[in-house]
Every structure is written in C-alpha cells, then in structure tokens.
Structure 1
Amino acid sequence: MTPTRSRRGLAVAIGVTVAVVAVLVAVLWPSPAGPAVLHAASARYAVTATVRNPKPGSTSVDIDVTDPAGRPVSGAAVRVQPVMPQMGHAGPPVAAVPTGGGGYRADGVPLMMAGSWQLLLSVGADHLTLSVPVSN
C-alpha cells in the first residue's frame, strides 16, 4: 500500500468518525423544554395557563379565562401562587395583568427548583389548582 492511499484511508476514516459524532450529538443533545399548557375549570370559569419556561427560576404564566359558554372574561382579579407541597416551598402570589380578550399575564412567578409544582390560581373568588412539572 502506498503512503498516499494510506493517507486517503485515514482521512476518510476521520471524516466518517466526525460525521457520526456530529449526528449523535445532534440527536442526543438535550433540547429546551417547550411551554407547559395546563387546563382547569370551576363552576364559573375555564382556564388555560401556559407556563412559558417550566424550568427552575423565574417564569411568566399566560392565562386565558373564559366563562362556561366559552366567552372571554375580562376585568377579573387573577393571581398565581407557586407551591411545592412535597418540599414545603411556596412563592408569593403574583398578580396577573390583563392582556386583552380574557387574557392575563403573571410575570416573575418563582419556581425555585425542579420537581412537581402546583400553581394555585385565583380568579375572583374561585380557586383552581394546576400541576406543572419543572425540570432542569
């Protein structure tokens, strides 16, 4: 075998190895979690809450509130409080601001660590509990 043929074989082997490693990294690299979409209802309201970033830290929660007929509810007092009963953690309630059309946003909702959290959601006098898994 000539040195040129040997170098070509080595270059091909290195190229194939690099390609295989690149494909494995692309497939196995953890991708960021998407938003968590949660649903709950009481006698007076149906709620869809979207936790934008269900990871430890501060996040925003978008909340859509409708009445039983599916009409948007505007002007409600909406608050979100994160609670982790298993660990005894609770964050302060965060007031949600209206965004229009029955939508509300609570910014700065603290999720202190990974695990099973509950969002205690109050809409006026109604209280709903939404479960959200938080992962690293």
Structure 2
Amino acid sequence: MSATPVTSRGSRRCGVLVGGGGAVIVVIAVLVWLVWPRSAGPVVLNTGTAQHLVTVTVDRLRLGITDIDVTITDRAGVPIDHAAVQFQANQSLMGHAGQPVTAAPTRPGHFHLTDVALMMTGPWDLRLSIDTHDGGEQLTLPVWVGG
C-alpha cells in the first residue's frame, strides 16, 4: 500500500501550523517575561531633624516580612555612635500598630531591624524614636506598601 498525496500534504500543513504556533507562543512568553512585575530593590528614604540626618533603607517595601536599616549622622555627616533607636510600623488606615522594637546597633551610626511585619497593603507610617545624649527626637516616614 502506498500513502496518498493528500495525507502527506495534510501532514505538512499541520507541521507548518504547529511550527508557526510555537513561534507565537515563544513571542508571547518573551513579552510576558518583559512586562511581568519584578520585585523592586531596596527603598531608601532620607529625612532629618534639626540635629540629625537619617536614612532608612527598607529591604522590600512589599506585603510580608522585611529588614530595615537606619543610618544616623549629625548634620556634618559624622555617624552618631551613642544613640538608641526605637522603631514602630503603623497602618493607621486599618488601626494596626506594631509593637515598638529597639533597633540593633551594627556599627557607629548604623542600626538594623529584622523581620519587620508589613502585613497589609496601603499607607503605613514608619515611626522612629531616636534617643541620644543630647535628647530625643521623633520622626515619621509615610510609605505605601504594595502587594
């Protein structure tokens, strides 16, 4: 028995369609990969008081658990090595207030907080209380936590 030309020709058409469909799938996959939202890098917030310059770096400003670093210098840029830093994350829209936590000093002027819970999307206030030998200061940094 021999194969009829119609079957052979039909198979070729099917192969061309699958090949073209495969190319379309690859193009769609590349486009999705290009526009897919990526996790943003750390968010750096700069603020200050009459006596200090403060930088707060949030590792991941997204829903979940994150680490936060705080850097404190005087107005001349010299690290403050004699400070105690308290931190509190508040989501005032829903009435959620985290417990105040003391940041661990890592080196002069640098403080670190681990496992800070930002468990709701929306507006948050990051509140810092800085206690130095010169007195205490309060700072509030508004941020938006995304999904």
Per the TM superposition, whether the score is higher than 0.5 is yes
Instruction: Give, in whole Å, the separation in 1 of the partners of 2:81 and 2:122.
Output: 33
Compare 16-25 and 114-123 and name the one that shifted more.
16-25
Contact 1:94 1:109 in 2 (8 A): no
> Superposition pairs for residues 1-136 of structure 1, below 5 Å?
2-3=9-10, 5-124=12-131, 125-136=136-147
Greater radius of gyration (CA): 2
SS of equivalent to 2:31: helix
CA RMSD of aligned residues (A): 1.7
SS of equivalent to 1:110: strand
Instruction: Give, in whole Å, the separation in 2 of the partners of 1:67 and 1:107.
Output: 25
Instruction: Give, in whole Å, the separation in 1 of the partners of 2:100 and 2:65.
Output: 13
Deviations 1:100-123 (A, max 9, x none): 131110122221201111101111
TM-score (norm. length: structure 1): 0.90
Question: Which structure's relative contact order is higher, taking Cα pairs within 8 Å and 6+ residues apart?
Answer: 1
Contact 1:80 1:122 in 2 (8 A): yes
Counterpart code for 2:117? P
Deviation at 1:16, TM superposition (A): 1.2
Deviations 1:16-62 (A, max 9, x none): 11211211220232211322211110111111001111122332110
Aligned length: 136
Identity of aligned residues (%): 42
> Structure 2: which 5+ residue stretches go unaligned?
1-5
Contact 1:59 1:111 in 2 (8 A): yes
Instruction: Give, in whole Å, the separation in 2 of the partners of 1:92 and 1:3.
Output: 71
